[in-house]
Structure 1
Amino acid sequence: MTSRAESIDPITRERLVCPQDHGPLIDAGDELYNPRLRVAYHIDDDGIPVMLATEARDVDDDEHRRLTGES
């Protein structure tokens, strides 16, 4: 099964950046993740990323390591 992040149109996806620091995002299943700020942006059921800083959720250390592959 394709994740919501993977289903975003490639041209659109390459243009999506974090609204807070304007940096790149990591595909994280049904979210887009900013490892620098440790926040995740939800992708709704229609495949539309909710790119609002007020809607971002904080990511803890364990999840950050899992998403980035860091030890």
Structure 2
Amino acid sequence: MNPDDPLLKILACPLDKGPLTLLPLEDTLYNPRLRRRYPIVDGIPQLLPSSGEQVPEAEHHRLLNQLN
């Protein structure tokens, strides 16, 4: 998945239904509001609530810096 993929505009977090941010270096989609990341496996986003991983605060700040 790349940052220009039109699919990114319609993907939403399964928990809060808000937008997700692509982290291409991590090959994940990230929800900074809930501090949850969802893996992308073989180009397919894994968006089941159980597929998400809670991110600790220090990791959250690292990921936000990666976005800027």
**Range of TM-score over shorter length:** 0.7 to 0.9
| Residues 1-71 of structure 1 aligned to structure 2 (within 5 Å) | 5-6=1-2, 10-28=5-23, 29-44=26-41, 46-69=42-65
Tell me if the contact between 2:8 and 2:20 (Cα under 8 Å) persists in the aligned partners.
Answer: no
Structure 1 stretches of 5 or more lacking a match? none
Tell me by how many angstroms 1:56 deviates: 0.5
Q: In structure 2, the residue corresponding to 1:43 is in which secondary structure?
A: strand
Provide structure 2 residue ranges, at least 5 long, that are not aligned to the other structure. none
The two structures have a TM-score, normalised by structure 1, of 0.78
Following TM superposition, by how much is the alpha carbon of 1:62 offset from its aligned partner in structure 2, in angstroms? 1.0
Structure 1: which 4+ aligned runs deviate by more than 6 Å? none
Instruction: Report the structure, 1 or 2, having the larger strand content.
Output: 2
Higher alpha-carbon Rg: 1
Aligned residues: 63
Alignment partners' CA distance in 2, 1:15 and 1:36: 17
Instruction: Give the superposition deviation at 1:58.
Output: 0.8
TM-score, normalised with respect to structure 2: 0.81
Distance, in Å, in 1 between the alignment partners of 2:32 and 2:9 is 17
Return the letter of the residue paired with 2:36.
Answer: V
